[in-house]
Structures are given as C-alpha cells and as structure tokens.
Amino acid sequence: MTSEPPNSARKVVVHLRATGDAPILKQAKFKIAGTDKFAKVIDFLRRQLHRDTLFVYVNSAFSPNPDELVIDLYNNFGFDGKLVVNYACSMAWG
C-alpha cells in the first residue's frame, strides 16, 4: 500500500448502486470522511431518494451496522479505490 494520510484526513469514495427497481441516483459517487459512521451514508441515501425504507448492503452479503466507521468498511470491503454500497427499496410482504 502506498503511504496514506492519517485516517482523520482520509476520505472514502462511496459508490451507491441501485438494485432491483430502486431509483438510480444521478450522482451515485461521492466522498465521505473515513471517520464518519455508516449511518451518514444511509441518511444521505434516504435524503437523496426521499424514501425512508431502504435495504442497504455490501457485496460480501451483509448489511453494515450504522455504527461502523466508513474507513473500516472501505479497508475490509473496498476495491478499486471505492466502497460499493447497494441499495434496494423495501420489499413487499412475502
């Protein structure tokens, strides 16, 4: 790994990916401070889509806890310089 600025200065590129019939964002990539919690990504999504009920998950088959730090998620599950976060709209009753 190349030397990086300390985590406090580190920004993470998040790529929001629509799945199913969820609306696609015009601006799907953005930067967020690594020290922010994942809750911020969820809230950002909710505001962008004007929806509260979203199912948010990462490719590795799990839904990140809102308390997780974005930098931790990126370090473990990021690739190609970004963290891909998938979102779907809430399901109908099964």
Residue 93 contacts another protein per CB under 8 A: yes
Q: How far apart are the first and last CA of the chain?
A: 45
Residue 68 contacts another protein per CB under 8 A: yes
The number of helix segments (H) and strand segments (E) in the chain equals: 2, 4
Measured from the CB atom, the residue of 3 and 22 that comes closer to another protein is 22
Measured from the CB atom, the residue of 20 and 23 that comes closer to another protein is 20
Give the residue among 29, 8, 5 at the shortest CA–CA distance from 17: 29
Q: If phi over 0 gives left and psi between -120 and 50 gives alpha, with beta otherwise, what is residue 47? A: alpha
Q: Residue 78 Cβ, how far from another protein at the closest point, in Å? A: 12
Q: Residue 55 Cβ, how far from another protein at the closest point, in Å? A: 6
Q: Which two tokens stand for residue 31?
A: 């930067």
Residue ranges in contact with another protein by CB under 8 A: 19-20, 39, 42, 52-53, 55, 57, 59-68, 72-73, 76-77, 86, 88, 90-94
